[in-house]
Structure 1
Amino acid sequence: MATKIILSSLLFSLYFLATIAENNANNSTTSTSFVQASCRATTYPTVCIQSLTRYAGSIKHNPRQLAHTALAVSLHSAWSTRVFIHKLTNFKGLKRREYQAIRDCLEEIADSVDQIGQSIREIKSMGQGPPGQDFFLHISNMQTWVSAALTDCTTCLDELSDTTYNRRIKHSVRSRVTNVAQITTNALALINHLVA
């Protein structure tokens, strides 16, 4: 059941990203400036700008749309990383400890995918009206799930800290998981900005 929910969230996110990228013909300078200004307040502004500017035409000046798009980009990145790590479990040259570390990392990233997917469902269920008690409950839920997804990324990276692991595999996984963590950190900052 959870796999179906995750898959439906991923498919929706891919559709969502494709739709807003298609609408990017409406990308005005002011929309791009809004995204760039919002990204400057995140932990990884360059990553934020690179990952979200292409969607500026659909984001316009809407902070909620910006946070939603950031979550969709985060989900796509986490899902792609999960697929990559899953393929590594079939690599024949892994030592037993390396295989176990990669399996553990795969579980952590799969959890991240689930938690980011829950956050996307949460932001979609938020009403469009003025902030009320439900608004803050939705924000709190998203903050909890995205923070948990970040913890899972950190745990995955910790699994790969042993210096005896295959350098190429370790570097490939670390760089992808680090990218997921940075994009997800930025998404959390943009969610937090909704409260401000």
Structure 2
Amino acid sequence: MRTLLLLSLLTFFFATFSNHHATAATTSVDDDGDGDFIRSSCNTTLYPDVCYTSLSRYANVVQQNPGQLARVAISVALSKVHVTASYISNRTREADYGGSSRSALALHDCFSNLGDAVDEIRGSLKQMRQIGAAGAGSGSFLFQMSNVQTWMSAALTDEETCTDGFQDVADCPVKTDVCERVTNVKKFTSNALALVNSYASKGMP
């Protein structure tokens, strides 16, 4: 019941997120330097190719704004985690009807960790949307960015905890499948955190 409730909440949030951003996404990169800005920004991340491929379509939205780029990167990471959490939820139900108990436990723990990551990334995105509000000074900006950095770091840790939970599970298709998917998700979260750190280092919104 708890798993179904969490999945329902995740599905509702993702639908809201998708509708909100549907009109913002672009399918091509502008020729006025917006694409170059995203590429140069992505070069500071651990996975620059993944970063640029996933964010370049939002060039018209970002417009060489590091804060907006960080917000978009967080949004993309959130959608990736949500999709993976939904997928693993289905795998946990399959594991309940077959497979090793160790594998089933690792799946359940992984889903729980990804659910925590969704909450933390969602909190980061909410905080990012509040940055730059009227009257917000440098002290407020640094405090808010510290919150975002903390939550994004926690989300990345939760994702790593998911894959770590499979270390004692014998090699099998489920282990390989889930670990590959979550490892891919970690790239988006890591990139978003790097862009957040870059934005925070500027000291002002």
TM-score higher than 0.5: yes
- Corresponding residue of 1:142: 148
- Corresponding residue of 2:39: 36
Over the aligned positions, Cα root-mean-square deviation in angstroms equals 2.3
Superposed displacement of residue 57, structure 1: 1.7
Superposed displacement of residue 42, structure 1: 0.6
Distance in 1, matches of 2:184 and 2:192, equals 12
1:14 aligns with 2:18: yes
2:42 maps to amino acid:
C
**Relative to 1, partners in 2 of residues 1:17 and 1:93: Cα closer, same or farther, differing over 3 Å?**
same
Distance in 1, matches of 2:9 and 2:174, equals 30
Ranges in structure 1 where 5+ consecutive residues have no aligned partner? none
Superposed displacement of residue 11, structure 1: 4.0
Q: How do residues 103-142 of structure 1 correspond to structure 2 at under 5 angstroms?
A: 103-127=108-132, 132-142=138-148
Distance in 2, matches of 1:82 and 1:53, equals 25
Distance in 2, matches of 1:93 and 1:2, equals 23
1:46 aligns with 2:49: yes
Aligned residues: 194
- Structure 1 stretches of 4+ moved >4 Å: 1-9, 23-26, 128-131
2:185 maps to amino acid:
V
Distance in 1, matches of 2:116 and 2:36, equals 34
Q: Secondary structure of the equivalent of 2:23?
A: helix
Do the aligned residues in 1 keep the contact of 2:128 with 2:148 (CA within 8 Å)?
yes
Scaled by the length of structure 1, what TM-score is found?
A: 0.89
Q: How do residues 46-195 of structure 1 correspond to structure 2 at under 5 angstroms?
A: 46-91=49-94, 92-127=97-132, 132-165=138-171, 167-195=172-200
**Relative to 1, partners in 2 of residues 1:123 and 1:3: Cα closer, same or farther, differing over 3 Å?**
farther
Superposed displacement of residue 186, structure 1: 0.6
**Relative to 1, partners in 2 of residues 1:168 and 1:111: Cα closer, same or farther, differing over 3 Å?**
same
Superposed displacement of residue 69, structure 1: 0.4
Q: Deviations over 1:132-185 (max 9, x none)?
A: 1111111000000000001101110111113514x2211111111111111101
**Relative to 1, partners in 2 of residues 1:195 and 1:103: Cα closer, same or farther, differing over 3 Å?**
same
Q: Secondary structure of the equivalent of 1:90?
A: helix
1:174 maps to amino acid:
C
**Relative to 1, partners in 2 of residues 1:84 and 1:8: Cα closer, same or farther, differing over 3 Å?**
closer
